[in-house]
Amino acid sequence: MTRRLYYDDSLLTEFDAMVTGCVRRGDSWACTLDRSAFYPTSGGQPHDTGTIACPDGHTCSVTDVECDRDGEVWHTISEEIPSGTKVRCVIDWERRRDHMEQHGGEHLLAGAVWRHLHGTTIGLHLGKEDSTIDVSFPDGRTHLTEEEITLLEKQVNSWIRLDAPVKCYFADPSEVPGIPLRKPPTVSENIRIVQYGDFEYCACGGTHPPRSGMIGQIKILSALPSKGKVRISFVCGERAEIRLHAGFQVLKALSDALSCHWADTPDAVRTLQERNEELAKEGVRKNEIIARYEAERACRDPVICGGKKIALVLLPLDDKKFLTRFAADEAARMDMIIFAALKPTDGVSFFCICRPDSAPVDLRKIIAPLKAKGGGREEMVQGTVPIDDIRTRLAGAFLDL
């Protein structure tokens, strides 16, 4: 059975070991060692990576580490290393440190949720960018307030600043009931207790920093409902530093663009939104004035065909919703068939044609002669149409109606 060196020293990154077995696994190999500081994927924390070097200097990368049902740790490597080979192993420290920061922060966050809100943490997922825990509350709640999120974050960061010692040890089963664990152990033997200062006690087989200060800091990103629980997303350590730095750079760019202090950015954005809404309303009012003017002008000079009068209104606008409403309103107001089209793109315009009750023609019949694409009802048709020579084609389309 592999002796797990990380149980006693989570900072150990280089160690000597002997290969005790090596088997082929598809295109790669997996070996066991008599002793290993490589952490196998478990408890939501991903495995370590690193290298295993043979005495002849040949080095294999360790790309995966897993633990079998018997507790043996298997290291995935690209080549076979015969049993009995004495090897020198190196752990990728950056990856391990990052995992310990997230994992350690998770313990404190789960401890704070338990202490202040009586929530029980169900699981940890340590992702490539963010980590999450799912928390179940006695009252079944699925939300946290901003004040509660702030309380949790402050509590965890104050525990981190205490730089309290982190003690990891295997407890005798008879001792366990006397330890203030925030949740019962999931195993009945080899119970490993992890204790942060005197404020967080949990049974855990993971890698932990020797002191809480090494976690650096926590930033809670969100707390959202998830299958009857609350899923809290967070980052710790260097990830938190990077995230907060990036966030402040964005805030600084925004406050520079808005010429305000960074703390006033939300108010400045709100003011800008209100101004935009006013401008949009003003734009609609101006469009209506222009459109009404164009409609009246078109009604004075209609296309006349087969005893019908059609007002041809070309609007220098780009608002389909407005055009549809406008054509219907004007047809009723001016008591005339209104053909209205918007500013063309590549010679093609969006159009809408409406008729008043006094001109009972089926407007759907003009789509083909107009060379238009679209459809609608007897009294209203819309779509797209080539705009060149539209007056002539419009007259032709109404000839047979």
12 vs 258, which CB is nearer to Zn ion?
12
Residue 108 lies near Zn ion (rule: CB under 5 A): no
Tell me how long the chain is: 401
Question: C-beta of 204: minimal distance to Zn ion in Å?
Answer: 3
40 vs 206, which CB is nearer to Zn ion?
206
C-beta pairs of 324-333 under 8 Å, 24+ apart in sequence: 324/352, 324/380, 324/382, 326/288, 326/291, 326/295, 326/352, 327/352, 327/353, 327/354, 327/380, 328/352, 328/354, 328/380, 330/291, 330/292, 330/295, 330/354, 331/355, 331/356, 332/356
Residue 206 lies near Zn ion (rule: CB under 5 A): yes
42 vs 78, which CB is nearer to Zn ion?
42
Question: C-beta of 135: minimal distance to Zn ion in Å?
Answer: 16
182 vs 364, which CB is nearer to Zn ion?
182
- Residue closest to Zn ion (Cβ): 204
Judged by CB under 5 A, the stretch of 7-15, 196-204, 303-311, 366-374 that binds Zn ion is: 196-204
Judged by CB under 5 A, the stretch of 164-172, 204-212, 293-301, 329-337 that binds Zn ion is: 204-212
- Count the alpha carbons within 13 Å of 118 in the hemisphere toward its beta carbon: 5
The footprint of Zn ion on this chain (CB under 5 A) covers a number of residues equal to 2
109 vs 336, which CB is nearer to Zn ion?
109
Q: Which amino acid makes up residue 120?
A: T
Is residue 221 within 8 Å of residue 233, measured between CB atoms?
Answer: yes
Judged by CB under 5 A, the stretch of 8-16, 148-156, 202-210, 350-358 that binds Zn ion is: 202-210
Residue 281 backbone phi and psi in degrees, to 5:
-65, -40
Question: C-beta of 123: minimal distance to Zn ion in Å?
Answer: 12
Question: C-beta of 186: minimal distance to Zn ion in Å?
Answer: 12
Residue 352 lies near Zn ion (rule: CB under 5 A): no
46 vs 385, which CB is nearer to Zn ion?
46
Which residues touch 366 (CB under 8 Å, ≥6 apart)?
353, 372, 381, 394, 397, 398, 401
**Alpha helices, DSSP H, located in 143-236:** 146-161
Question: C-beta of 48: minimal distance to Zn ion in Å?
Answer: 15
**How is residue 11 written in tokens?**
């900072």
**How is residue 69 written in tokens?**
């049902």
Judged by CB under 5 A, the stretch of 28-36, 206-214, 269-277, 387-395 that binds Zn ion is: 206-214
Number of H helices, E strands in the chain: 6, 22
Is residue 6 within 8 Å of residue 39, measured between CB atoms?
Answer: yes
Residue 104 lies near Zn ion (rule: CB under 5 A): no
Residue 204 lies near Zn ion (rule: CB under 5 A): yes
Query: Which residues contact Zn ion by CB under 5 A?
Result: 204, 206
